[in-house]
Amino acid sequence: MSKPSKIYFSRPHVTAREIELVTSAIASRRLSGDGDFTRACESKLSTLVGAPVLLTNSGTAALDMAAMLAGLKPGDEVILPSFTFSSTANAVVLRGAVPVFVDVDPGTLNIDPRRTAEAVTPRTRAIFVVHYAGVGADMDAIGAIATQHRLLVLEDAAQALGASYRGRPLGTFGDFAGVSFHDTKNVTSGEGGCLIVNRAGRLGEAEVAREKGTNRKAFFRGEVDKYTWVDVGSSYVPSELNAAFLLAQLERLDEINRERVGQWERYMAALAPLQGTGLLRVPHVPPECVHNGHLFYLLLADARAQSDFIAFMRTREITTPFHYVPLHSAPAGRRYGRVHGSMAVTEDIWQRLVRLPIYPGLGADQDRVLDAIQAWVAAR
Ligand SMILES: *Cc1c(COP(=O)(O)O)cnc(C)c1O
């Protein structure tokens, strides 16, 4: 019997349109950023979320900008989940501020509002929420805590483009939000991201931070007659090559998200009935959240089941990775951060979580994934 083909966990969806637009960017000889392709992407994204958007060279860069624009200073504290990517906490640490890790809600794996409220001190400046798997954090509760204590809200919406909470797009609840276009995300430019500027009147500052601290953008609009260094910033502008690729992806955002959501629902329909075995649990999406099919995970019984599942799936050439090692227990998390309260949920779930293949073009291979899961369950 020949070996079955490998099923990846994630694959970018590429068509002739990406090649056409990148070719056209090359032909234009305008390769640096903020040209027609960048503006076209920003305009599409801005229409989608209903707020000003600046393209950045990564999701991480957008989160760094968000922390910079929040005016975080050494000694300030920012409350965030431990179950997230390093970038969320790095953005805080790069400002000299202290990440204060709290536990997540066992249903959504998003920041737990009760733990968040308990973690507020006189030094707290902001709450940094993450919308894990493109499912919104509890923004009603987080918004109430932020209002009560006059805190800023920052959103790591890296996984959340096209998802909403009570009908409002994720990425529009915080003062600033970062989205990622890394090639594991729903739409991609290889590496890329964008900053959503929800704070009225702060777009100018964001433009300066993004352009190495200069007022270059204002200069090109004819608002100043020379451009110069006006504030702190860095190089966060992506190349037109990346923007051209991204534009082709954004043209298909609805199509891509629809296909992913279709696969997500298929996993849900097939796997939710297996919860009765006690061997696995499927994701929980609160009724106020519309997700974007970014990822479908399973929570297995324990750490042994996780490694056993991953190894079993690998024998069938199916990639089902685990996810974050909690930041509070990571070497840098211990050095730069602090924990508030019990981390019981985080410490439990990361050892039991596996992610299933989901991407446009997965097609009939989804049957192979489902068959393999059925076989794994049956063998237990
Ligand atoms: C992908 C991701 C990031 C980082 O985005 P990059 O574009 O890879 O820099 C940050 N936070 C979360 C939650 C992510 O999923």
Q: What is the full per-residue pLDDT of the chain (380 aa) written as tens digits? A: 577 899 999 999 999 999 999 999 999 999 999 999 999 999 999 999 999 999 999 999 999 999 999 999 999 999 999 999 999 999 999 999 999 999 999 999 999 999 999 999 999 999 999 999 999 999 999 999 999 999 999 999 999 999 999 999 999 999 999 999 999 999 999 999 999 999 999 999 999 999 999 999 999 999 999 999 999 999 999 999 999 999 999 999 999 999 999 999 999 999 999 999 999 999 999 999 999 999 999 999 999 999 999 999 999 999 999 999 999 999 999 999 999 999 999 999 999 999 999 999 999 999 999 999 999 999 99
Q: Is the CB of 198 under 6 A from ligand 1?
A: no
- CA of 280 relative to ligand 1 center, distance in Å: 27
Q: Which amino acid is at 141?
A: A
As a whole number of angstroms, the distance between CA 307 and CA 259 comes to 29
Nearest one of 71, 328, 291, 308 to 162, comparing CA atoms: 291
Q: Is the CB of 186 under 6 A from ligand 1?
A: no
**Number of the ligand 1 atom closest to the C-alpha atom of 180:** 7
Q: What is the pLDDT of residue 154?
A: 98
- CA of 119 relative to ligand 1 center, distance in Å: 25
Q: Tokens at residue 295, please? A: 């990822």
- CA of 85 relative to ligand 1 center, distance in Å: 6
Note whether 163 and 290 are within 8 A (CB). Answer: yes
Q: Is the CB of 55 under 6 A from ligand 1?
A: no
Q: Is the CB of 172 under 6 A from ligand 1?
A: no
Beta bridge partners of 296: 356
- CA of 142 relative to ligand 1 center, distance in Å: 21
Distance of CA 45 to the CA centre of its chain: 15
The DSSP 8-state label assigned to residue 104 in this structure reads B
Q: Is the CB of 156 under 6 A from ligand 1?
A: yes
User: Which of 84, 87, 195 to mutate to test ligand 1, by most ligand atoms within 8 A of the CB atom?
Assistant: 87
- CA of 157 relative to ligand 1 center, distance in Å: 8
Q: Is the CB of 205 under 6 A from ligand 1?
A: no
End-to-end CA distance of the chain: 26
Cα torsion 41, 294, 61, 193 to 10°: value is -10
Q: Is the CB of 130 under 6 A from ligand 1?
A: yes
- CA of 222 relative to ligand 1 center, distance in Å: 35
Note whether 170 and 145 are within 8 A (CB). Answer: no
Q: What is the pLDDT of residue 4?
A: 85
As a whole number of angstroms, the distance between CA 170 and CA 290 comes to 10
Nearest one of 346, 338, 341 to 92, comparing CA atoms: 338
**Full-model pTM:** 0.97
Note whether 207 and 201 are within 8 A (CB). Answer: no
Q: Is the CB of 161 under 6 A from ligand 1?
A: no
Q: Is the CB of 155 under 6 A from ligand 1?
A: no
As a whole number of angstroms, the distance between CA 89 and CA 167 comes to 28
Note whether 299 and 280 are within 8 A (CB). Answer: yes
Spatial neighbors of 12 by CB under 8 A, at least 6 apart, are: 183, 188, 359
Nearest one of 134, 193, 160, 207 to 49, comparing CA atoms: 160
- CA of 323 relative to ligand 1 center, distance in Å: 13
**Number of the ligand 1 atom closest to the C-alpha atom of 130:** 13
Cα torsion 311, 315, 318, 324 to 10°: value is 10
Q: Is the CB of 193 under 6 A from ligand 1?
A: yes
User: Which of 65, 156, 187 to mutate to test ligand 1, by most ligand atoms within 8 A of the CB atom?
Assistant: 156
Q: Is the CB of 13 under 6 A from ligand 1?
A: no
| Strand 193-197 relative to strand 176-180, pairing | antiparallel
Q: Tokens at residue 70, please? A: 């929040």
* H-run or E-run covering 154: strand 152-156
Note whether 361 and 260 are within 8 A (CB). Answer: no
Spatial neighbors of 345 by CB under 8 A, at least 6 apart, are: 103, 104, 105, 106, 109, 112
Spatial neighbors of 314 by CB under 8 A, at least 6 apart, are: none
As a whole number of angstroms, the distance between CA 297 and CA 195 comes to 27
Q: Is the CB of 12 under 6 A from ligand 1?
A: no
User: Which of 180, 183, 355 to mutate to test ligand 1, by most ligand atoms within 8 A of the CB atom?
Assistant: 180
Q: What is the pLDDT of residue 1?
A: 55
